[in-house]
A and B are shown apart, each in its own frame.
Chain A
C-alpha cells in the first residue's frame, strides 16, 4: 500500500465531519461513564491500518506529536509530552482507550493537555471553519482505537 497516497486520500475526506451513518453517535450524545465508553461510536469495528495512518498524520490525530510509539520507528520525530504508547493495548481495554481519545479530560481531569478528539468542549475562539466540528470523526476514532489495541506488550 502506498502510505503517502493513502494519507492524501484520508486528508481529503476529513474536513467533512458529518454524521452520515445512522448508527453514529453525535459528540454530545456519547455515553462516557467511569472512564469508559462501552459501545463503538459507529456501531462498527474500526480498521487498525487506517488507525495507524490517522495516528501519525499531522493533519489528523497527530498523536506522535505527544506520544512515542516504537512500532512507528520509521517516523522521524516522536514527542514525549504524554507517556509512550508501547503496550498500551495490554494496559487498557478498548472501552477505556475509546474514552481517552473521545474526551481525555473526562478521564484524566481538566488539567490534561491532551485534546479531546471527539468532543465539542473546546477552547476560546475556535477557528471559524471548525466551529461545531470535532478533531476526528467517529469512524476515525474507532480506527485509532482498533490500532491501539494492536500495541500489545
Chain B
C-alpha cells in the first residue's frame, strides 16, 4: 500500500536541491566598508573546534537596502543613539559627582578595542561580565549612582557608544582567565538544547538551517558582533539579551532573566562563535 523508503529518500533529495536554488538562500558575496574607508570583517575562518569552516556576519544575510544603511554612518539610525551614549559618557551622576569621563577621559582612546574583548572574567563576582554589567559596576562602585535596570535609562546607548569605539576590531575573547572555559561549556549546552513547545534549539535554526528562509526571515548564523543592533522593525536599539530572550520565546518556551547565569554563559559561547568578525555596533538589522 505504501511507497518504499527509497522513493521517499529520492523525493526528499530532489526537494532539497530545489531549496538550494531559491531566491536569497545564500548570504551575499560582498564587502562591507563603512563610509568608504573602514573595512569590516564579515567573513573569516572559524576558530578551532567550531562547527562551521567560516563565520559569517548577519550583515551578509540582510537585504540590499539594510546593508547599505549600515555602510553609511549618516544613514545608520543607530548612530543617533550612539551620540546619546556619547553625551551620557560625560554626564555627572551619583553621590560621587563623577561621570564616566572623570575616570576614563576620552573614550576614543580609553575604550578603543575594549568592547571587542567582552565578555571577560570578573574576579570580584567570579563570573563573566559584559559591557552592560561593567557599566553598572562603575555606576554603583565608583559614581554612587544606581545600576541601570535591564534595557532602561542609558544602558543601551552607553553600551552602544562603548562598543562603537571598537568598530572594525575583530572579536576576540579570552577563555583562559578564571573559569571562562567552564562558562563556555555551559553556554554550549544551552545552545544545543531544544526548548519550548516547538522543540527547537539555537543550533536548529542558526546552524542546521543557516541560509534558509523561515517565512519572511533569512536565517543567519545568529552572530552577536553587531549588538546592540538597530532593528528597523522596532525602530530602536535592541540589546543582546533582549534578542536571546526573543529567540527563546519564539520556541514557545519560558525565557531566562537578562544577565542570568544562563544567558551570560550563552553570551560567552555565542561571542566565541563569532571570533574574528569585526565589531559592527550599531549594526542595522530588520
Contact with A along B217-258 (1 / 0, CB 8 A): 001000000000000000000000000000000011110000
Instruction: Say yes or no: A77 contacts B213, CB within 8 Å.
Output: yes
A selection of 5 A-B contacts at a CB cut-off of 8 Å is A68-B22, A81-B209, A123-B196, A130-B197, A135-B197
User: CB < 8 Å: which of A65, A95, A115, A125 contacts B215?
Assistant: A65
B200 neighbours in A (Cβ, 8 Å): 113, 115, 123
A126 in complex: contacting residue of B197, B214, B215, CB < 8 Å: B197
Interface core residue of B198, B204, B205 (most chain A CB under 10 Å): B198
- Considering the chains assembled together, what is the distance between the CA atoms of A35 and B205 in angstroms? 25
In angstroms, how far is the closest chain B Cβ from the Cβ of A146?
19
Main DSSP-derived SS at the B contact region: loop
Q: Contacts A83-B12, A123-B198; is A66 near B254 (CB within 8 Å)?
A: no
- Find out whether the CB atom of A127 lies under 8 angstroms from the CB atom of B196: yes
For A124, give its contact among B11, B18, B195, B213 (CB under 8 Å).
B195
Which chain B positions have C-beta within 8 A of A36?
2
Interface set, chain B 171-215, CB cutoff 8 A to A: 193-201, 204-205, 208-209, 212-215
Pick from B11, B194, B213: contact of A79, CB below 8 A: B213
Closest residue on chain B to residue A75 by CB atoms: B215
Q: Is B6 interfacial (CB-CB < 8 Å)?
A: no
A45 contacts chain B at the CB level, 8 A cutoff: no
State in angstroms the CA–CA spacing of A89 and B214 once bound together: 23
Question: How far apart sit A65 and B213, CA to CA, in the bound complex (Å)?
Answer: 8
Q: In whole Å, how far is B220's beta carbon from the nearest beta carbon of chain A?
A: 14
CB 8 Å contact bits of B38-58 with A (1 = contact, 0 = none): 000000000000000000000
| A80 contacts the other chain (CB 8 A) | yes
B209 in contact with A133 (CB, 8 Å): no
Q: Are B3 and A91 in contact (CB under 8 A)?
A: yes
Chain A nearest CB, measured from B188 CB (Å): 15
Q: Which of A93-144 contact B (CB under 8 A)?
A: 93, 95-96, 113, 115-116, 121-128, 130, 133, 135
Question: Would you call B19 an interface residue if the criterion is a C-beta within 8 Å of the partner chain's C-beta atoms?
Answer: yes
A62 at the interface (CB under 8 A from B): yes
A124 and B25: CB pair below 8 A? no
Q: Is the CB of A127 within 8 A of B11?
A: no
What chain B residues lie within 8 Å of A122 (beta carbons)?
Answer: 196-199
Q: Is the CB of A127 within 8 A of B254?
A: yes
Interface size on B, residues (CB 8 A): 35
Spell out B's residues near A (CB within 8 Å): 1-3, 8, 11-12, 15-16, 18-19, 22, 25, 193-201, 204-205, 208-209, 212-216, 219, 251-254
Q: Is the CB of A125 within 8 A of B254?
A: yes
Q: Tell me, rounded to whole Å, the shortest Cβ–Cβ distance linking A141 to chain B.
A: 15
Most buried by B among A91, A92, A124: A124
**A84 to B205, alpha carbons, bound, how many Å?**
18
Q: Are A128 and B214 in contact (CB under 8 A)?
A: no
Determine the chain B residues whose CB is within 8 A of the CB of A133 once the complex forms. Answer: 197
Q: Which of A81, A92, A121, A125 contacts B214 (CB 8 A)?
A: A81
Please report the C-alpha to C-alpha distance between residue A125 and residue B251 in the assembled complex, in whole angstroms: 10
CA distance A79 to B209 in the complex (A): 11
Let me know if B22 and A80 touch, CB within 8 A.
yes
Residues of chain A within 8 A (CB-CB) of B209 are 81, 113
- Whether A81 and B212, one on each chain, are in contact in the complex, defined by CB atoms closer than 8 angstroms, is yes
Q: Is the CB of A126 within 8 A of B22?
A: no
A126 CB contacts on chain B under 8 angstroms:
195-197, 252-254
